[in-house]
Amino acid sequence: MVPSSGFLKKKTFASSSVIRTNTYSNNDDRHRRPHTNYGSSLYAASSEGFDRRKFILDGTIAISSMVALTEHSQEAYADGSVRSSSALEDIPITHKVFFDVRISRPDGTFYIKDEEDSTNPDDLVFRGRLTFGLFGTVAPQCVQNFLKYVSVIIDPLDENPMPSYGRSTIPSLDEGTGLITFGNLPGLDISNLNGATGIRYRQRILSAPLWIESRDKQDDNNKINHIEKGLLTHRNLDLSPQFYITTYADSRELDGTHTVFGRVLSDEQGESLEFFDRCSRLPRYSLDRPKTLQNKVSNDQSITEKVAADIFQKQKNFFRGAARAAGDTRIDSIYEGKYLRRVDVTQVGQL
């Protein structure tokens, strides 16, 4: 097992200016505060004379207790869940996996040009490697299912291959949750077959086990919360290999519906940071339309309505062309947050 290392700056959840109220077990002596009777101390100060030394001592003890309790609450809450970035670093990494990724030019191409058409770095092809560390002791079921799509040996001559992350795409960024979608396999569908649910991939029908951890692992004291950027997470009731990576420092609203099973590891070349930075700036499809201006064109259609209609048609044509090229009819369904560039995974493997 190797120690973990985050790839982005982590968020601190407690400070001297914020006091949280948490419920702890009364039988756990670690969480008990030294008892200070504020009422009797103030009464004694007013009726029997002001004992300055005792008053200062009581106040010092109370403040020290509050600071200690706040620092401890960063590491573990009453439900046993991990809530701080420092505690995440203590979780052992059982497997390391690499994903070779690329981002296309605006025209969707990746080939090498003698001279690029644009000097804007965001318009150039990006190629890099992401390294993931997996938490096999905390989320063994998720890690086991994840590795099944990593260990596949890709044969270009195989007309009926097994599904692999090495053939996957990275289609979207959800601005609401801050999740980047990974593991999208064109041609893979979840199907109902004779009353049972399975995975249909090309000409294969495969079993579709749940990614949910067993009850003893769900109650484990090392349960991980979505409290930093770069965490690998999977939706609990989703049978597909699709997973997500967090881009927000605090996404704890996902704790009840997703399971964290790994993290993005830092690299000396900074390719991870550059990739996620590029992904955050990539143009995405939006359902929002600009408000209508009062200026009218000759055909009595507002200028902004015409621009919006043109953009919508170009986006739709782009994805229809991509769908025809990839043989994936699902791309006809355009949705909020979908990238308007090709973002692919070209190779995966274990380190």
pLDDT in tens, 232-273: 999 998 999 999 999 999 999 999 999 999 999 999 889 999
Going by pLDDT thresholds of 50, 70 and 90, the confidence category of residue 22 is: very low
Going by pLDDT thresholds of 50, 70 and 90, the confidence category of residue 150 is: very high
CA gap 58, 70 in Å, rounded: 19
Q: To the nearest whole percent, how much of the chain has pLDDT over 70?
A: 61
Residue ranges covered by each domain of the chain: 29-73, 85-283+340-350, 286-334
Query: Token pair for residue 194?
Result: 């004779």
Q: To the nearest whole percent, how much of the chain has pLDDT over 90?
A: 40
Number of residues assigned to the chain: 351
CB atoms under 10 Å from CB of 133, counted, come to 25
For the residues 200-213, what does the mean pLDDT come to? 88
CA gap 94, 152 in Å, rounded: 19
Q: Which CATH number fits domain 85-283+340-350: 3.40.50.720, 3.40.50.1100, 2.40.100.10, 3.30.1490.20?
A: 2.40.100.10
Report the pLDDT value the prediction gives residue 252, as an integer from 0 to 100.
94
Report the pLDDT value the prediction gives residue 135, as an integer from 0 to 100.
96
- How much is the pTM? 0.66
Q: Is the pLDDT of residue 309 over 60?
A: yes
**CB-based contact 4:263 (threshold 8 Å):** yes
Q: Which of 95-99, 158-162, 313-317 has the lowest mean pLDDT?
A: 313-317
Report the pLDDT value the prediction gives residue 16, as an integer from 0 to 100.
36
CB atoms under 10 Å from CB of 345, counted, come to 21
Q: Is the pLDDT of residue 349 over 90?
A: yes
DSSP string, 21-43: -----TT-GGGPPPP--HHHHHH
Q: What pLDDT, in 10s, does the model give residues 34-90?
A: 444 434 443 344 444 445 555 555 655 544 444 443 443 344 444 445 545 557 888
